[in-house]
Copies of this chain bind each other. A is one copy, B any other.
Amino acid sequence: MTNASNTTDIFNRRESEARSYCRGISATFTGARGTEMTDAEGNTYIDFLAGCSSLNYGHNDPDMKAALIEHISNDGVAMGLDLHTNAKGAFLEAFEKNILEPRGMDHKVMFTGPTGANAVEAAMKLARKVTGRTNIVAFTNGFHGVTMGALAATGNGYHRNGAAAELSGVTRMPFDGYMGDYDTTQLLEAMLNDASSGMDAPAAIMLETVQGEGGLNAASAEWVKKVADLAHKHGALLIVDDIQAGCGRTGTFFSFEEWGIKPDIITQAKSISGFGLPMGLVLIRPEHDIFGPAEHNGTFRGNTHAFVTGRVAIEKFWSDKSFQDEIAGKSVILTTALQELAEMVPDAYLKGRGMMQGVDVGSGELAEEICGRAFEKGLIIETSGPNDEVVKVLAPLTTPEETFRKGLNILLEAAREVTQKHKIAAE
């Protein structure tokens, strides 16, 4: 490595101002294993950010690592366009056997460009093509990516402004819980039923069951089921964007699988490769699998390294229920710790579901101060929500209990110190 003594100079000198996480989490990282990361100065950190849920199985899982090294050593195909490769075939077989078949899902798999946004763009395009309609219903605080199509469905104003052009084709509806006790599906239903509501007949209703970037807003099963019913009743496809909430994050492989709904289209990315490698896919009910050859295309659809690690991830973690049970156990630990955190801040409250929980502490400043203090103590953790007011825990699902508790303790300590400081200042 040529990069040595003064590692951040080059970033300041040559990397675009668009860089972001590195501003708060300012170390230069050189290694990572499981839930831990190491920086250039030899410090180690517990990682509760986990690549924004791209590392549900932790960094450099030894089995995936071994398989990947073997693949590369043997001159396995690295880039395969959308050609048949043994790596892709094996991934598909593992995915079919361990994921789709046990859940009674007949979906076809479309490998899109290897980003979540690209999967979302493909899903939106496909829904429009299937229905011959343009409008897509998306929800307040939804986050679906920043390319022009995906961005139209994304709620975040900062990112929307980045478009500097008109974002169209989407109707925004209030998410579950957005209007207090009012059941927001009622408004959705009223507008769908009303020929003069101004909501054009939708091609799809697209939702995250837990809004990761939007602040860990978790929809209830009932709400999602009502939305699913409304979609089908009105000839719209149901798209579940499971990019952040899927791959076990909420406790099961799909975030919705215990609710008895059958989305027409599901988007996946982030943890689907298991190893943090770029990969995106769209699951499609067979009757909607109507794109022509390459109608939605992209060079990196065949990132075979990701197929290799993705296959191992599926086989290792999803061939039986044990991993699911493990996640359930850790989720309880997480809830307990976060309740403790919430009690430190007046009006703070828990949000989220499974291993995708956090605490709304009421202000972005406070949340960022807590995360900043935690980083000083060796914990990588981030905020989310419209005003960054939610301290969000996205630990690898594979985090050993001891490390998990250690990380949570750092978080609690950091929160205690910060809130204490404010209390003293206020007195």
> A108 to B15, Cβ gap below 8 A?
yes
CB of A122 to closest CB in B, whole Å: 8
- With a cutoff of 8 Å between Cβ atoms, the chain B residues found around residue A81 in the complex are 21, 49, 51-52
What are 13 inter-chain pairs, A to B, with CB distance below 8 A? A16-B289, A17-B291, A32-B75, A69-B69, A129-B164, A132-B164, A140-B198, A141-B194, A146-B297, A156-B196, A158-B292, A167-B200, A194-B386
Other-chain contact of A299, B116, B122, B125, B191 (Cβ < 8 Å): B116
> A77 to B31, Cβ gap below 8 A?
yes
Say if the beta carbon of A349 comes within 8 Å of chain B: no
Say if the beta carbon of A324 comes within 8 Å of chain B: no
- Bound CA–CA A185/B112 (angstroms): 36
Other-chain contact of A79, B17, B155, B277, B294 (Cβ < 8 Å): B277
> B299 to A54, Cβ gap below 8 A?
yes
CB of A244 to closest CB in B, whole Å: 9
Say if the beta carbon of A43 comes within 8 Å of chain B: no
CB of A175 to closest CB in B, whole Å: 9
How big is the A interface, by class?
Answer: 35 or more
- Bound CA–CA A214/B194 (angstroms): 11
Other-chain contact of A14, B69, B108, B196, B294 (Cβ < 8 Å): B108
Other-chain contact of A60, B55, B78, B187, B297 (Cβ < 8 Å): B78
Q: Which partner residue on chain B sits nearest A142 by CB separation?
A: B198
> A155 to B197, Cβ gap below 8 A?
yes
> A195 to B387, Cβ gap below 8 A?
yes
10 closest pairs, A vs B, by CB?
Answer: A79-B276, A148-B149, A155-B198, A16-B110, A128-B164, A20-B294, A196-B386, A168-B168, A3-B89, A20-B293
- With a cutoff of 8 Å between Cβ atoms, the chain B residues found around residue A22 in the complex are 82-84
> B182 to A17, Cβ gap below 8 A?
no
Pick the most buried of A77, A96, A170, A270: most chain B CB atoms within 10 A of its CB. Answer: A77
> A31 to B76, Cβ gap below 8 A?
yes
Q: Which partner residue on chain B sits nearest A155 by CB separation?
A: B198
Q: Which partner residue on chain B sits nearest A107 by CB separation?
A: B14
- With a cutoff of 8 Å between Cβ atoms, the chain B residues found around residue A108 in the complex are 14-17
CB of A362 to closest CB in B, whole Å: 14
- With a cutoff of 8 Å between Cβ atoms, the chain B residues found around residue A148 in the complex are 121, 124-125, 147-150, 152
Say if the beta carbon of A322 comes within 8 Å of chain B: no
> B160 to A386, Cβ gap below 8 A?
no
Say if the beta carbon of A347 comes within 8 Å of chain B: no
Say if the beta carbon of A268 comes within 8 Å of chain B: no
- With a cutoff of 8 Å between Cβ atoms, the chain B residues found around residue A296 in the complex are 18, 146, 159, 162
Interface hit among A4-12, A232-240, A248-256, A328-336: A4-12
CB within 8 Å for A293 and B86 given contacts A75-B59, A134-B164, A200-B157: no
Say if the beta carbon of A166 comes within 8 Å of chain B: yes
Q: Which partner residue on chain B sits nearest A61 by CB separation?
A: B78
- Bound CA–CA A49/B90 (angstroms): 24
Other-chain contact of A145, B14, B75, B165, B298 (Cβ < 8 Å): B298
